Amino acid sequence: MNFKILTFFSILLFTVADINAQTLTDAELSAVESSVIEWRRHFHQNPELSNREFETAKYINARLKEMGIKTETGVAHTGVIGYIKGGKKGPTVALRADIDGLPVIERVDVPFASKVKTTYLDKEVGVMHACGHDTHTAMLLGTAKLLKAKQKELKGNVVLIFQPAEEGAPIGEEGGAKLMVKEGVLKKYGVDVIFGQHIGAGTKTGTIDYRFGGLMAAADQFEIKVKGKQAHGSRPWSGVDPITISAQIIMGLQTIISRQTELTKEAAVISVGKIDGGVRNNIIPEECTMIGTIRTLDVDMQKIIHEKIRTTATNIAKAGGAEAEVIIRIGYPVTYNSKELTQKMLPTLFRSAGEDNVRVVPARTGAEDFSFFANEVPGFFYFLGGRPADVEPQNASRHHTPDFYIEESGLILGVKTMTNLTLDYLKMEGN
């Protein structure tokens, strides 16, 4: 559809929604803002890794019960569900926030910085909310409080999903949105649509970014084990060096993207994140293993890239006299925004943030397991600004790093938007 026509259509919808919406007052938002910041700081100071969010879940459950909201715990190990039954009949809207932290040592100089340490993959690590899940959780609690106060007016029901393990369950475990879907959360509560948001450290505070269709990439993992022949480091010709061959494979993988993938169609990425081989400086080892990530935004491209990884690794290894074993683990699907639902809710975004502060953005190669929910029911996922106004985009902190930082003044827009999305959808679709 032509963008000008789309904008005109959006303005018409905006007018209808604006007339019918149950508008939040500034007083209602101000009353909950300090609590949201307090909750966010608690979560930030007490982060827990995926599938280990035991204390986080207890805190969430306690806050929901204080609000008088019915809860269910132990969902997908440590997840918490809140349920608000509306005073009138109508559809059921689900709102989702992820609750897990990352194995990162915090460097940000704030009074509520994380000092938590734990063990991850047999190593002592710090734990930090280095992707903003603490803000997501706090904003959903704030939204819950506002919606609970309007319970009798709701033309339908609200399911509050506090989801663990978005960053991925530990090896050998199930978790996250995929497990919640498998356990039947959406079906149990009769969810019709689902909304989610993600804070952005590089996105200006007070703004919202969205996209129709594919918003974030599918994320798959690969492991390549190169099997050579051990030898003395001084006589490499007497063995088969898996480290050198692994280096050639790494470079070969990059040409899959730069020379064999139609990047004008959609973006794609192959990155090696870890390589492990050998125990001593003068011993050529028998094996070398690398692991990495594959990001794609198109299903057909995803299949082609998987096959090219297998072909590239095995043939390079064979040329060097070695063998390569390739394992590809399917991860998160593409995070897909229902085009119909996105169009329907655009007026709510405009009303919440101001039309000048709402932008259509290109797809991103990051991934989100919200995608599992959106594969089951129509979903809409958007990005909320968290970058301070006086910080230039190129100087903003990055996600998954020790310096990750979010401006707390932007959180109330997240609460406002999620609440408005719920109220407006129920108003439009309720009986």
Annotated catalytic, 100? yes
Q: What is the DSSP string of 228-290?
A: -B-EETT-GGGSB-HHHHHHHHHHHHHHHHHHHS-TTT--EEEEEEEEE--SSTTEE-SEEEE
Annotated catalytic, 122? no
- The answer to whether 211 touches 360, Cβ cutoff 8 Å, is yes
Count the neighbouring beta carbons within 10 Å of the beta carbon of residue 385.
Answer: 25
Q: Which one, of 388, 224, 401, lies nearest residue 314 by Cα?
A: 224
Count the neighbouring beta carbons within 10 Å of the beta carbon of residue 294.
Answer: 25
Q: What is the dihedral of CA 109, 167, 363, 160, to 10 degrees?
A: -90
**Angstrom distances, CA of residue 357 to CA of 203, 205, 314, 386, 413:** 11, 10, 49, 13, 11
Catalytic residue of the set 53, 100, 266, 408: 100
Helix (H) or strand (E) run with residue 359 in it: strand 358-360
Burial of 108 (0-12, 13-18, 19+ CB in 10 A): middle
> Can you name the residues that pair with 287 across neighbouring β-strands?
227
- The answer to whether 213 touches 336, Cβ cutoff 8 Å, is yes
Helix axes 3-20, 411-429, angle to 10 degrees: 80
> Can you name the residues that pair with 83 across neighbouring β-strands?
70, 159
Count the neighbouring beta carbons within 10 Å of the beta carbon of residue 389.
Answer: 11
- The answer to whether 78 touches 145, Cβ cutoff 8 Å, is no
Backbone φ and ψ for 298, nearest 5 degrees, come out as -140, 130
Backbone φ and ψ for 228, nearest 5 degrees, come out as -110, -145
Catalytic residue of the set 98, 166, 266, 407: 166
> Can you name the residues that pair with 198 across neighbouring β-strands?
383
Q: Which residue has the tokens 């310096």?
A: 403
- The answer to whether 413 touches 353, Cβ cutoff 8 Å, is yes
- The answer to whether 166 touches 177, Cβ cutoff 8 Å, is yes
Catalytic residues: 100, 166
